[in-house]
Structure 1
């Protein structure tokens, strides 16, 4: 009888993986693929009839595709290429979106690589802490970052206040492409730095020493030995950056407006104007481009993946050397210059938001903006945003979505790392939320689960808050996959083989051996899921149809349209809640795993 509980536990573990896989597929179908499909199908089904008219009209419209639209009107590729090379070329909405995504990617890589060089090649107090916090800008809520950039680069922002004080004319950065690019670099340069730092630290010092012993100079050894091992990491982070910035929404809406609108902004605008067919067709074009890049990235990642091996990392140099040679002096001067750029791009928006939340227009200290939040909490009308419900909703939604996203992400990580064939295709399908418009996800959930769906004569509908949790879980689970999958892929296969040889089922080997070994990655995935939920704005702004479902990012968007002060105060609250939540969860599981 004593073995009965053990047999029962083994039976549960044996079936748990299959049950979790089925549940994950069901959740993705119900809250992602079906809602997204119902929206996208409107591009080809109008008034119940299958038609390509809307899609074809969009492809032929220069407003959307610029000069490329001429390909679909019968002109040859050579004529189109000449038109694109002309100074007065038209990019269209899709072309501009790709253009700003390419520029954002280039700027993010340019700002991220020096940080990777400093973190990987120099030793200094606080290096480990600095390496850990490089991921924080990536998980900060985008609407909060937009508020920080308005407080920094706005007409009356911190930058212009400093320039005026030293007698330099003001600069106008708001509602310019430059502001959008800098904001995108704020988000994605830390991602580039983190991924590249991990690759740099995995370079074997013995290989470099061998090259030097054969007569190669420092530059030749770097180009022939180190650089080839960094290229995959740089290309990986660049591909992710492109996908993220191609589907940008809150940053462009706040810093560029409709004058510099991207595809995502126009999808939102068309959906808001009830032009669903055109919105769906445009979203389909966006999805095709983003999924194409994502699939190529996954194929490249699979092709360049190497098994874990022991290496002797390159020795780090002291940041402040004892002997100041010309090379060391030039190197440190470059680091100091880069530190100044970092201060402007990464620290200034956060500091400016903090200052704007406690100062008036003339620079005097005040707590009026925080008092406004308290006053709105006590006297706001029912339809207005109240701060405490927004904070409460954000925390509750984040916790609930993490509980859904975590098992989903672990299951998908297991499936993608086990797949021997078609891994790239499976990964692209599973990671589709990276590429699909949040507006489309929110609109599909709103018109489906929230409004109700007829199933076998029964009408099934969920509350807006449940739909928000579903949207947040779908947005967060790919990050769980990306933190858990590398750990699973790098585990020694002999561990699982030994367990199987001793009679353990595959599920038991997973639960008893593999997951405990990658537990830091699992906890880091939970931290990502919470942080992503806290800052999610795109789908939430569609689904939060009532004040009782508003979150902190939606509250900031409502405030920023009227008064910057309360928006910065709410931004500080969001920063504190998000930062504390992320750091507490991350500390429970150890260091955040790299992408």
Structure 2
């Protein structure tokens, strides 16, 4: 009996030690894989030859190429008001002198370059945000207000931006809207003029809308379903017209969700990389694309300074989003949702408009994916599998410098499994910590979301500069191999999705179940394994599927860490084929990537993942 009590006491003590150790191990991993690499970039940006200095940052801030007219704030602060005033007068004069709306818009766009690379990056992000809202809001209206076959499937497809590799989206847009794309082929058949959108701002904005409009739809549709029908009925009973009731009752409740979607879209498009790299290149370079070019040119100090300034902007925007989200979220309340209409009812103006909207969605969303698959199976003489055969020939080639599809697929799967092994335990631990009440949990929850605010390029640069190049400790150089760094970068980008899927379920968990298990003699670890984890299993499975899919499609950090090695993945292989102007093989590789990510999406949908921004 005494021995039993002694063993039980040892188990309790071991448990008290084990849980903090797990937390410390997770914190150590985050330091090594995220905070230290990002800190390495910061250190390079504020030091020269080991001496602390702001010269690298000031060099960027005083360069008109980067900040345009605002460079005067560093070069000559006293001249800033006069410089900005001169720019404003000149811009207003150009717009006033323009003949017609199109010319006025062109003059307005021409006024942006005085703000340099950062100004253009913000400008394209603003245009992309407006386009995403225009494409996403009608979808939210459709999902929230109408009932029709397949509505649940379409709702699930709004998770596509978190699963679909963006470099694959770029290939689809080349196949759809390029000079020899599907749209131009149709126009030639009809005898109509053709056009080429590649390397234009328009195709970048369109591709960003493809990628981010589902996010807007998801957020706003969820908010629309919480609008209380009784409030609308009260307004109508007081004499308000349907339009007035919508404006005065529904719109104020949807506005926070619309602003949240807009802010998130702006953040994502401000830091967009693969889409702009493939569809705009250096001709339409943003901060991310130019940062990548600086890394390729081994101008690492300049790249670090750019990375720090970009991260400051993105962190500020992310902080504003988190503050706004916290302020906008109210307590749960019982509502009577607005009833949905049958979409197949009588034909009226709104149903005709929705049919037109469906046509636009088909062109913007479906055409690129269908075009990519069709292009991979179509040659000069009709249907063919020659592009897939080309991939097989590449794989069998003895030339080691070539990009081999088999290696890319193998690496992607290995890195995906490695990401699961690292990201899922990290995400679960962080979810358990952040699901508790208290200021410390809120702080840790905010800190753990840093990957959302720091681009993959910055993480990749930090891992390359800090861990791959090596760290000198006591006369010994510590370094990790490229594949290990790639898994670390993928895990850093993936674990927040595990947190976002598991933490809400933990927050809703009835704590009395855990207390009952403990009262019956279960240790804390046993209660965790037998009670809590089974109850959050759907969120855990969905988070794991998200982590795997994100690893499969990750491009930003991988393209830096895989440079000059055989650690390239499927997205990197797609970009290399596209850079070689070999659209057929690029679309074939993109189709293989589509199949793998679609399988991950099916898992997410089947297990009922409940990721919500």
TM-score, normalized by the shorter chain, greater than 0.5: yes
Q: Distance in 2 between matches of 1:381 and 1:285?
A: 41
The range that moved more, 7-16 or 366-375, is 7-16
Q: How does 1:152-551 map to 2 (within 5 A)?
A: 152-321=176-345, 323-324=346-347, 329-360=348-379, 362=380, 364-421=382-439, 426-491=444-509, 514-551=532-569
Secondary structure of the equivalent of 1:144? Answer: helix
Q: Residue 51 in 1 paired to residue 70 in 2? A: no
**Does residue 569 of structure 1 match 2:588?**
yes
> Relative to 1, partners in 2 of residues 1:363 and 1:286: Cα closer, same or farther, differing over 3 Å?
farther
Asked whether the 8 Å contact 2:41–2:308 carries over to 1, the reply is no
213 and 522 in structure 1: CA distance in 2 versus 1, 3 angstrom threshold: farther
Separation in 2 of the partners of 1:277 and 1:169? 48
Residues 530/107 of structure 1: CA separation in 2 closer, same or farther (3 Å cut) = same
Cα distance 1:310–1:46, how it changes in 2: closer, same or farther (>3 A)? Answer: same
Q: Cα deviations across residues 483-502 of structure 1 (Å, max 9, x unaligned)?
A: 33344445567767887888
Q: Please list the CA deviations of residues 215-271 of structure 1 after superposition, one character each: whole Å capped at 9, or x if unmatched.
A: 332222222332222222222222221111111111111000101101011111111
SS of the equivalent of 2:222 reads helix
Q: TM-score, normalised by structure 1?
A: 0.92
Q: Partner of 2:598 in structure 1?
A: 579
1:37 corresponding residue in structure 2: 39
- Contact 2:514 2:531 (C-alpha < 8 Å) held by counterparts: yes
Could you list the per-position Cα deviations for residues 458-516 of structure 1 after superposition, in whole angstroms to 9, with x for gaps in the alignment?
A: 43222211111000000111222233334444556776788788898877776655554
Q: Distance in 2 between matches of 1:266 and 1:253?
A: 9
What's the Cα RMSD here? 2.6
Question: Is 1:183–1:251's contact at 8 Å kept on the other side of the alignment?
Answer: yes
Determine helix, strand or coil for the equivalent of 1:194: helix
1:98 is matched with 122
Q: Report the more deviating stretch, 309-318 or 410-419.
A: 410-419
Are 2:41 and 2:307, in contact at CA under 8 Å, matched by a contact in 1? no
* 1:275-309: CA deviation from partner (whole Å, max 9, x where unpaired): 11111111111000000010111111112223334
Structure 2 unaligned blocks of 5 or more: 92-109
Give the whole-Å Cα distance in 2 for the aligned partners of 1:307 and 1:496.
Answer: 24
My pick for the range that moved more, 475-484 or 329-338, is 475-484
Q: TM-score, structure 2 length as denominator?
A: 0.89
1:8 is displaced (CA, Å) by: 7.4
- 1:79 matched residue in structure 2: 82
2:477 is paired with a residue whose SS is strand
Cα gap change, 1:95 to 1:380, in 2 (>3 Å): farther
**1:109-137 deviation line (CA, Å, top 9, x unaligned):** 22111111101110001111111122124
Q: Distance in 2 between matches of 1:217 and 1:510?
A: 54
Counterpart of 2:24 in structure 1 is: 22
- Bigger CA drift: 104-113 or 436-445? 436-445
Residue of structure 2 in register with 1:136 after alignment:
160
Q: Please, which moves more after superposition, 337-346 or 431-440?
A: 431-440
Q: Distance in 1 between matches of 2:72 and 2:442?
A: 33
- Report the CA distance shift for 1:378/1:583 in structure 2 as closer, same or farther (over 3 A): same
Q: Distance in 2 between the 1:3 and 1:259 partners?
A: 73
Q: Which runs of 5+ in 1 are unaligned?
A: none
- Residues 460-469 or 562-571, more deviating: 460-469
Partner of 2:95: none
C-alpha contact (below 8 Å) 2:156/2:605 kept by paired residues: no
